Structure 1
Amino acid sequence: MKKAVVLLSGGLDSSTAVYLAKKEGFEVYAVSFDYGQRHDKELNCAKNVVEKAGVKEHVIVTTNMNVWGGSALTDKNIEVPEGKEDSKDIPVTYVPARNMIFLAYAASYAEAIGAQDIFIGVSEVDYSGYIDCREEFINAMENAINHGTVCAVEQGRKIKIHAPFLNMTKAEEIKLGMELGVDYSLTWSCYKGEALACGTCDSCMLRLKAFKEAGYKDPIEYNL
């Protein structure tokens, strides 16, 4: 069976990516990150998703991106703001170069286990304006990986980055996830990490909007 490394945060997008990779016939090796984020709710969800989906292996990489902060997700002195649907600015929840770092780890993991496929659940249709969720970036990272790995340069086994939701709305993604059997009650999207999802941060607003447009009720509870 073909192997695929799937970046799994425990959120809606990455959990759907796990199920899609399995549907496409891949043996899934999930990789999550404890990067100094302000809460561990998503990581706990990732563990539950892995158990429910039945992936081959789950690796949690620990790194300390909170040392330099620069984001409301890694610096607890920066408050998570309420979401603004019409905002065009890069929000303070953007973590500097996070997906670049995550994909580099995924490439190393993939090369080590002989996988030629990496899945990442980014979208540039419904997203918070993050620069590292765009097709140009994904293509550039794939190019860099295939210029910097022995498997690609010396052995002719290039690594492909799959971003299957890149041009999907989150509503379309949820409909697909329902067909795939994703248990969205096991996922977490809220930036604040409290007992209940806040319902007002960018991530919560995008999630609630998507479930409504898809015609489903979000199975997690909100503090609304």
Structure 2
Amino acid sequence: MTKRAVILLSGGLDSVTALAIAKAEGYECFSISFDYGQRHKTELLAAENLAKKAGVASHKVIQIDLRAIGGSALTDDIDVPETEQQGIPITYVPARNTVFLSIALGWAEVLNAEAIFVGVNAVDYSGYPDCRPEFIDAFEKLANLATKSAVEGSAIYIKAPLMYLSKSEIVKRGTELGIDYSETVSCYQADAQGRACGQCDSCRFRRQGFIDAGLADPTRYQ
């Protein structure tokens, strides 16, 4: 029987690398993206394109209005910082990964999938609390308490294959797997054409990753 996995696919560099790794590990992949009230939708278009190119079995876009609660520069009328911030930055979206993983968990149960892949990283990242290994471990425990499939003996695993990789290591791994990173959108304030600002946290980590990997940066900048 073919093993199945649900992949959280944002349209950015990390999530498409997680998708490629899941495919390389022999999973039949089902990708899920979220229209959650973020400032721009170009990342959703990128995710749809990347899912199609990867040949996923199905791709879903789920609508959730996190803008209704705000509290983040990505979902509220707050400027995206263009300099390095101390502590947890204002681009952190309250409960985002908890909500996303919960919905992915529901779909995984419907599909009889054994794994959920998420591209979180605890090395070159902005310090978000819901990207830490402790969070992933805790959510996996929750998943196997909260689902019918787990109670009946079919565990669901939360896989974070990028957790301990540097951005340069992620870029190298994805390049080995044939990813065209020019088609990804990582920027927190990309324009309508998906071009990056080059200044936000996400852009800075991404650009440094290509530099450290010794690879040309294919990102389209404004």
1:182 alignment counterpart: 179
Pair 1:221-2:220 in alignment = yes
Is contact 1:12–1:184 with CA below 8 Å preserved after alignment? yes
**Cα distance in 2 between the residues matched to 1:38 and 1:83:** 19
Q: Deviations over 1:158-178 (max 9, x none)?
A: 100000010000100110001
1:97-136 matches, within 5 Å, as 97-136=95-134
**Cα distance in 1 between the residues matched to 2:219 and 2:53:** 17
Is contact 1:127–1:206 with CA below 8 Å preserved after alignment? yes
Q: Deviations over 1:2-38 (max 9, x none)?
A: 1000000000000011111000000000000000101
Instruction: Find the residue that maps to 2:146 and give its secondary structure.
Output: coil
Is contact 1:17–1:120 with CA below 8 Å preserved after alignment? yes
2:66 alignment counterpart: 65
**Cα distance in 2 between the residues matched to 1:105 and 1:221:** 31
Is contact 1:88–1:129 with CA below 8 Å preserved after alignment? no
2:54 alignment counterpart: 53
Q: Deviations over 1:137-181 (max 9, x none)?
A: 00000000100000001x110100000010000100110001101
Instruction: Find the residue that maps to 2:198 and give its secondary structure.
Output: coil
Instruction: Find the residue that maps to 1:102 and give its secondary structure.
Output: helix
CA apart distance, 1:83: 3.3
2:139 alignment counterpart: 141
Is contact 2:182–2:220 with CA below 8 Å preserved after alignment? no
CA apart distance, 1:89: 0.9
CA apart distance, 1:187: 0.2
Write out the 4+ residue segments of structure 1 that deviate beyond 6 Å after TM superposition: none
Same amino acid, percent of matched pairs? 53
Is contact 1:74–1:95 with CA below 8 Å preserved after alignment? yes
**Cα distance in 2 between the residues matched to 1:29 and 1:116:** 12
CA apart distance, 1:193: 1.9
* Number of positions where the alignment pairs a residue of Structure 1 with one of Structure 2: 219
2:153 alignment counterpart: 156
Pair 1:167-2:164 in alignment = yes
2:198 alignment counterpart: 199
2:9 alignment counterpart: 8
CA apart distance, 1:110: 0.1
1:9-88 matches, within 5 Å, as 9-75=10-76, 77-84=77-84, 87-88=85-86
Name stretches of at least 5 consecutive residues in structure 2 with no aligned partner: none
Q: Deviations over 1:72-91 (max 9, x none)?
A: 0001x10101131xx44110
TM-score where L is the length of structure 1: 0.96
TM-score where L is the length of structure 2: 0.97
Name stretches of at least 5 consecutive residues in structure 1 with no aligned partner: none
